[in-house]
Amino acid sequence: MGRIALLSTSNKQGLVELATALVQEFGFTLLSSGGTAKTLQAAGIPVTTVSEYTGAPEILGGRVKTLHPKIHGGILARRDRPADQAELQAQGINPIDLVVVNLYPFAETIAQPNVSLAEAIEQIDIGGPTLIRAAAKNHAHVTVLVDPSQYETYLQELRLHGEAQPAFRLACAQRAFTLTASYDQAIAEYLQEVRSPGTEPDILPPVFHLMGQQKQVLRYGENPHQRAAWYISGAHPSGWAAADLLQGKELSYNNLLDLEAARAVISEFLGESAPAAVIIKHTNPCGVAEGKTLVEAYERAFAADSVSAFGGIVALNRPLDVATAEALSRTFLECVVAPACEEAALPILKTKPKMRVLTLPELQTAPTTAIQTIAGGFLVQDIHPVPIDPEAWQVVTATEPSPELMAELIFAWKVVKHVKSNAIVVSRDLQTQGIGAGQMNRVGAVQIALSDAGEAARGGVLASDGFFPFADSVQAAALAGIAAIIQPGGSLRDNESIQAANEAGIAMVFTNRRHFRH
């Protein structure tokens, strides 16, 4: 029969062109089944069905088509083993040189809304992965193609060398096993989420799967001597992979880290009536503010710490307009992201061609788990966003915050959640005035935030991501003129902090929820 190619594809892109070249240029005999065979026959390409070749009909509604010794024996036989060749001859099996398979679209199916378990199960491919793995295992003698993007490269191999070279077959095998691994992972993850009605979900599975498709190789990592790449998960681009880069160079490793930090903070302000802006530096917010207009919100965020804002990352909760674009263009910024951008703002932004400008409509979309590598493994925690619910908060002092102060406390609490521990935020008039981030002790963080705020601390509020173990921080806040404090509470010395607040006439609110960010 000469060289034989087995074609079984759910994605018919490029199939007819590949099959035509295999037959007309290189004299291949084609084996195929199901819809692939029908597509080739409709195109007038000679093809032998798998059922004709094996003598076994397709059964179980097409669930069993290629699972047959004449197929897998032809794929797995080693051409350099006389015993294998003798056995093929004795069994009337021909060697198969090329396997072209792509799989049922399982990930695409489960990504659709309201897909039932039965519908998902039917998209679990059995024969396809078996064919792929068999051909990849025997890549010393067999070529396996799993994506239409490989077809033309394979044909060029044949045109240049008469057959696929060993390095090409190995590369194809590597890609094939990567595909089957990610395919099985998608199935495993989906089934881990399927539970009987009324059962409590596990927080995290006993086996944690982590796999991504490389989107791009980055210039370097955090520093020039570190290699880095950007990987995406899921069948369809989402999150930053779905953002539109309107202008500027490609994103760097540090850009992406800072953009994610910016997205997390600005997501606290989505869906509200007030425009808001956040400026991020080294994954910490250095300026956050609300305003009557978007440009006012940005200018107030910038004014909160104009020194740190230089070269920062800006996130906006409203479409980027002309006035805001003009304000943004007055200084050097690494990146700006907004849910959309007005057409008239684009020419203004282009006056700063090095500034990366992105639109990401789904700024609310967040990861569900956080992963941190350690020696010998990694840590996983679920990201469990807790809605801010002032009704559940507890006023623990004799002085109660006014409605205006309560609005300020809510604002400060939204920000401090996203500052590295130990974290302190001082705000007034819905604008951060001082931020103490990443300090080794809370007293130091308080001193930094109050010092940065200066006189702007008077009448403002102070938010802490963790409780105060001593009264000294409350006393320092009182000396700076702070009117209200919000903190989780939970210290054995809470009464000392409460007493200090009462003595100073400061309102103090316990949220009973801490937000450490190590």
Q: What is the pLDDT of residues 92-130, one digit of tens each?
A: 888 999 999 988 777 777 777 888 888 888 778 788 888
pLDDT at 200: 58
The answer to whether residues 266 and 334 belong to one domain is yes
φ, ψ dihedrals at 432, nearest 5°: -65, 140
Spatial separation of the C-alpha atoms in residues 279 and 305, rounded to whole Å: 9
The answer to whether residues 163 and 44 belong to one domain is yes
Please indicate, yes or no, if residue 100 is contained in any of the structural domains: yes
Most confident of 49-53, 55-59, 75-79, 486-490: 486-490
The answer to whether residues 17 and 146 belong to one domain is yes
Q: Which domain holds residue 451?
A: 390-510
Q: Which residue has the tokens 């210039």?
A: 219
Give the residue among 361, 305, 289, 302 at the shortest CA–CA distance from 329: 302
- Among 12, 38, 68, 137, the active-site one is 137
Please indicate, yes or no, if residue 208 is contained in any of the structural domains: no
pLDDT at 106: 77
Question: Across residues 326-342, what is the average pLDDT?
Answer: 97
Spatial separation of the C-alpha atoms in residues 202 and 190, rounded to whole Å: 14
Q: What is the DSSP letter of 420?
A: P
The answer to whether residues 447 and 497 belong to one domain is yes
Confidence check: pLDDT of 201 > 70: no
Please indicate, yes or no, if residue 406 is contained in any of the structural domains: yes
CATH number at residue 298: 3.40.140.20
The answer to whether residues 167 and 49 belong to one domain is yes
Give the residue among 243, 453, 490, 248 at the shortest CA–CA distance from 346: 248
Please indicate, yes or no, if residue 116 is contained in any of the structural domains: yes
The answer to whether residues 41 and 171 belong to one domain is yes
Residue 200 CA, chain-centre distance (Å), reads 26
pLDDT at 384: 76
Annotation says 282 is catalytic: yes
Confidence check: pLDDT of 195 > 70: no
The answer to whether residues 17 and 152 belong to one domain is yes
Question: Across residues 444-465, what is the average pLDDT?
Answer: 96
Q: Using an 8 Å Cβ cutoff, are 280 and 257 in contact?
A: no
User: Angle at the Cα of 470 (from 464 to 472), degrees rounded to 5?
Assistant: 85
- Among 12, 161, 225, 282, the active-site one is 282
**How many domains does the structure of the chain reveal?**
3
pTM of the model: 0.80
pLDDT class of 197 with cuts at 50, 70, 90: low
Spatial separation of the C-alpha atoms in residues 427 and 219, rounded to whole Å: 38
The answer to whether residues 292 and 419 belong to one domain is no
Question: Across residues 405-422, what is the average pLDDT?
Answer: 96
Q: Which residue has the higher pLDDT, 406 or 185?
A: 406
Query: How far, CA to CA in Å, does 166 sit from each of 139, 151, 162, 171, 513?
Result: 8, 17, 12, 9, 59
pLDDT class of 235 with cuts at 50, 70, 90: low
Q: Which residue has the higher pLDDT, 183 or 378?
A: 378
Picking from 193, 211, 235, the residue at the C-terminal end of a domain is: 193
Question: Across residues 51-72, what is the average pLDDT?
Answer: 77
Give the residue among 104, 74, 103, 111 at the shortest CA–CA distance from 89: 74
Hey, is 180 helix, strand or coil?
helix
Q: What is the DSSP letter of 343?
A: G
The answer to whether residues 330 and 411 belong to one domain is no
pLDDT at 196: 52
The answer to whether residues 182 and 270 belong to one domain is no
pLDDT at 328: 97
Please indicate, yes or no, if residue 227 is contained in any of the structural domains: no
Neighbours of 97 (CB within 10 A): 21
pLDDT class of 202 with cuts at 50, 70, 90: low
